[in-house]
Structure 1
Amino acid sequence: MSLFHIILVALIQGVTEFLPVSSSGHLILLPNLTGLQDQGQAIDVAVHMGTLGAVVLFFWSDVRAAILGLPRLMTGRRDTPGSQLAFLLIVATIPVILAGLVLKLTGLDDAMRSVAVIGWAMLVFGIVLWWADQYGGSTKTKSDWTLRDALIMGVWQAVALIPGTSRSGITITGARNLGYTRHDAAKLSMLMSIPTIIASGVLLGIEVAGQANVEVARDGAIAAAISFVAALFALSFMMRLLQAVSFTPYVIYRVFLGLILLGFAYS
């Protein structure tokens, strides 16, 4: 891969991973619309590890509490905020892992990687995000997160396996629909991304382990570093912006892009 291609992929992944606009959709569109070769799974793993580092650093206090709570959780105790958070994050991750395995085994994951699917998902789930954001309540905060809510949001997260849906967008939609404030809906969504990215990274890493060489390692290191910085800036931007505006700007972008993609797909 050329350096330009690596930088482009890393920037797209870093900027779009946590914004509700679908990073996977954009990465699939890149070769389809530009003629560039697919970046391959090794680079996919690298850029996901970069974004993982960004979200862990940004929400370190919560991540640290969950890590410290794991030993208590392993003994069956959920009597601290950290152990409870760790438990709920695990619960919220189960649906997407199960759904991902089904799609992988049936081959449906590859069948959905089309411009038409991404266009419809961008459009439809963008409108669903707008509806939930406008009409959802704003009475709950992160401390109100329950087993029921974690499971429901986990099911919403599984829907994000449809390219163009956006993992962050659909989990924010679920949280807003459950009555969480915009800021806490986004925060829960970001925290839910951590075990999901780890699980995805492990599965992809196993598949590409045999491809490792010096060139792949070098390209991966560059991609991870760039996606880390880009994701950190994108996270900071979104969390600050939510103090003043709604998710409507992202919805407008999704609808606009979705219509363009549908026009392209059916022309």
Structure 2
Amino acid sequence: MDFIQTIVLALVQGLSEFLPISSSAHLILVPKFTDWPDQGLVFDVVVHLGTLSAIVFYYRAILKTLINDFFYSIVKIQTIGQSRLAWGVLLGTIPVGLAGLLLKDFVEVNLRSTEVIAYATLAFGLLLGFSSWVNAGNKHTRDILNWTDVGFIGLMQASALIPGTSRSGITITAGLLIGLSRKMSIQFAFLLSIPVITLSALLMMLDLYQQPQLVDWSMLILGFVLAAVSSYLTVVFFIKLLDTIGLMPFVVYRIILGVLLLVL
């Protein structure tokens, strides 16, 4: 990888990981349309760790509370503080974890085409728009999760294995559809990203152990820093801008991108 490719792909990962536009799709499409060589598994691991560090830092105070209340709830065998949310994050990760283990090879071989990305971008973009419209008309949105909510969002998150879906997009969509407030839908979606990105990075590390690669440490460090900083800034501004612009700009972007991919 050269300097320009490192910068572009690290920024693509950082900017798209937490926006509802699918980072996996953009990481597939950019090299295809630029005729760049594959960036390699090492780079993918590093930029994923960069985005993980960003979201952990952003939610560091909440995570400290969740971890404490989680273990305290086990000791007391009852709900303590934010322990319900902590258990929700843990249980909501199970469907995508199992689906990833079972379908990883199938997805890699069959679902990484431009056509699949185009249709997924369109379909899940329209679903995001529909959920936003439904939620806007709901005067009784909730900030409290129940176990049915966790199960539904967890199952919907498993569909993010399809490139073009967007993990953050589908989990936000699911939350909005079942009546969670936009704030709670986004918070739960972003908290769910922590174990999911961790599991994804671990799986990639396992593949990397089986297929070791030569590394350029300077490019990897640059990629990590750019992915971490850009993803952190994206989360900060995304959450702040939602009250002003809502989700429709991302829906429009997905529709335009999907149509362009089908045409091209």
Residue matched to 2:167: 167
* Residues 183, 245 of structure 1: alpha-carbon distance in 2 compared, 3 angstrom cutoff: farther
Which deviates more from structure 2 when the two are superposed, residues 14-23 or residues 237-246?
237-246
Alpha-carbon separation, structure 2, partners of 1:203 and 1:118? 22
Residue matched to 1:123: 122
Residue matched to 1:253: 253
1:78 to partner: Cα distance: 4.4
Report the TM-score when normalising by structure 1: 0.92
Whether the 8 Å contact between 1:168 and 1:190 is mirrored in structure 2 is: yes
> How many residue pairs were aligned?
261
Whether the 8 Å contact between 1:119 and 1:164 is mirrored in structure 2 is: yes
Whether the 8 Å contact between 2:13 and 2:23 is mirrored in structure 1 is: yes
Residue matched to 2:140: 139
Residue matched to 2:13: 13
Q: Deviation digits for residues 133-185 of structure 1, max 9, x if unmatched?
A: 0013353444x012211111011110111100000110110000011222221
1:90 to partner: Cα distance: 0.9
1:97 to partner: Cα distance: 0.7
Residue matched to 2:44: 44
Residue matched to 1:33: 33
Alpha-carbon separation, structure 2, partners of 1:70 and 1:40? 37
Where do 5+ consecutive residues of structure 1 fail to align? none
* Residues 39, 194 of structure 1: alpha-carbon distance in 2 compared, 3 angstrom cutoff: same
Whether the 8 Å contact between 1:118 and 1:164 is mirrored in structure 2 is: yes
SS at match of 1:49: helix
Which deviates more from structure 2 when the two are superposed, residues 12-21 or residues 219-228?
219-228
1:224 to partner: Cα distance: 1.1
Report the TM-score when normalising by structure 2: 0.93
Identity rate, percent: 36
Alpha-carbon separation, structure 1, partners of 2:104 and 2:125? 25
1:130 to partner: Cα distance: 0.2
SS at match of 2:227: helix
Residue matched to 1:235: 235
SS at match of 2:98: helix
* One-letter identity of the residue aligned with 2:23: S
Alpha-carbon separation, structure 1, partners of 2:156 and 2:218? 36
RMSD of aligned Cα (Å): 1.7
Residue matched to 2:212: 211
Alpha-carbon separation, structure 1, partners of 2:76 and 2:30? 46
Alpha-carbon separation, structure 1, partners of 2:25 and 2:225? 21
Which deviates more from structure 2 when the two are superposed, residues 8-17 or residues 33-42?
33-42
Alpha-carbon separation, structure 1, partners of 2:225 and 2:139? 36
Residue matched to 2:97: 97
- Are 2:206 and 1:225 equivalent residues in the alignment? no
Alpha-carbon separation, structure 1, partners of 2:81 and 2:217? 38
Runs of 4+ off more than 4 Å: 73-76
Whether the 8 Å contact between 2:73 and 2:80 is mirrored in structure 1 is: no
